[in-house]
Structure 1
């Protein structure tokens, strides 16, 4: 399978937003857009990642949508199962609540909350062992890019998880390349730069696992309707992990539509 033959994913990472009333309105608006002009599931998978408090509520709100919208947790615990771990949510608890997807390794978790490769590996292992599908995020800082270390940094982050992903579990991995310098800044890697890194990620994955050619690789970093079509046209960009624009139903819909129509 070539990168261009992969059904794209467009996933909205709501981060620590919005308030309950705004979240309810956002869901209603997105459902209405999909009702008016549906995006076929065979052309684009769509998902959203609300705050933990809203996971089940948003899942219920989307239950009567005209198409499936997958619900992602934004993170999970490094600890498996249940127990005396105040404030934690395990992979098993997510699975028990029928939350089947999770983001792991987002740059904000790495940079702000100190998620090390060892911690991320524990989270990856727990998620996969519980049967969840993971969006694993990789990306370089501006300093690493300017020092010529971008490819090395990203490929190392892929190699970091190879020790804990079993051969049959790679089918439950989605990659997301998010250049840290382009997150929430309004800056975006050029389509050429993004495609070059995605191709390098594809090459790295293919060296680690035979499943590498079929793994979706999403781009994340100030994705918006204005650049979605160009990004979608790149052969190894199989969707988008959308931040701020996902809090606007029309903008998020247009991004999903761009990938559905281009791929």
Structure 2
């Protein structure tokens, strides 16, 4: 139970949204929320993950925000460096552009685009080699949960990357637990269920690395202002990976505020 010593993270994953004009308005609205009632970085770190097209413009627009807002890439290539790989964006290109954070292993990448454990591990290895900080996503399907495999599946996903993470690199990784059945469905794991899984994740991490006791573990799965306070009160839930609610500046701000005030 180490949550109270960990600065929470609240990251908005915009996924394949929104159109440019709406994205600019969303950024301005969030900046206004932060100007009116600032959230210090030491209380809660805030990040947004726009489309690749919008990474640099989003970063530039947040440069004068009242609170620091980190720009997070939604994914990266399994191929390192540069070369003849049409459509790919490597870890090195992200780093060269000033992008320091990246999501890896999101369930939509695994389920829709076929990112295997090997592909995910390659991405993690490349990101760490380039000096990026990773938000590594893990989670189980409804069928896996109902069959009693949830903990096994999640811990295996963590073990999938353990062979490519050096001992001193675990501090560059944040875990995001996202039960697949709760993403974009309006359903959410109960705070008790989420806390139990987070505690298991922390236990598993602590068997792999001494950093496990202080690593942030975020919850993702239909996080809303209405459930954020209850989730934030759980000792091993150190923030949130927010989907749909992050497309509304006030909702996203309220979620960040909940974690900033509770932790």
Q: Report the equivalent of 2:202.
A: 202
Paired positions, count: 263
Superposition pairs of residues 215-234 of structure 1, within 5 angstroms: 215-234=215-234
> Residues 9-55 of structure 1, C-alpha deviation per residue, up to 9 Å, x if partnerless?
00000000000000000000000000000011110000000000000
Say if 2:84 is the partner of 1:84: yes
Alpha-carbon distance in structure 1 between the residues aligned to 2:101 and 2:41: 17
Shift of 1:101: 0.2
**Alpha-carbon distance in structure 2 between the residues aligned to 1:64 and 1:237:** 29
The residue aligned with 1:189 is 189
The TM-score normalised by the length of structure 1 is 0.99
- C-alpha offsets along residues 174-203 of structure 1, whole Å, 9 cap, x if unaligned? 000000000000000000000000000000
Q: Which residue is 2:95 aligned to? A: 95
| Counterpart Cα distance in 1 of 2:214 and 2:160 | 20
Aligned CA-pair RMSD: 0.6
SS in 2 for 1:255: helix
**SS in structure 2 at match of 1:199:** helix
TM-score, normalised via structure 2 length: 0.99
| 1:4 Cα offset (Å) | 1.8
Query: What is the match of residue 7 of structure 1?
Result: 7
Deviation at 1:66, TM superposition (A): 0.9
* 2:16 alignment partner in structure 1: 16
C-alpha separation in 2, matches of 1:2 and 1:216:
9
Task: Give the aligned partner of residue 134 of structure 2.
Answer: 134
Measured in 2, the distance between the counterparts of 1:122 and 1:186 equals 32
User: Secondary structure in 1 aligned to 2:48?
Assistant: strand
Q: Deviations over 1:130-183 (max 9, x none)?
A: 000000000000000000000000000011100000111001000000000000
Unaligned residue ranges in structure 2 (runs of 5+) = none
SS in 1 for 2:241: strand
Residue 256 of structure 1, CA deviation: 0.1
Take 1:213 and 1:161, find their aligned partners in 2: how far apart are those partners? 18
Q: Find the residue that maps to 2:84 and give its secondary structure.
A: coil
- Unmatched runs of 5 consecutive residues or more in structure 1: none
**Displacement, 1:3?**
2.1
Name the CA distance, whole Å, in 1 between partners of 2:22 and 2:11: 18
Paired residue secondary structure (2:154): helix
Q: Does 1:162 align with 2:162?
A: yes
Partners of 2:171 and 2:155 in 1: how far apart? 19
TM-superposed CA distance for 1:2, in Å, is 1.8
> Following TM superposition, by how much is the alpha carbon of 1:104 offset from its aligned partner in structure 2, in angstroms?
0.1
2:184 is aligned with 1:174: no
Matched, 1:67 2:71: no
SS of the counterpart of 1:46?
Answer: strand
> Residues 94-113 of structure 1: matches in 2 within 5 Å?
94-113=94-113
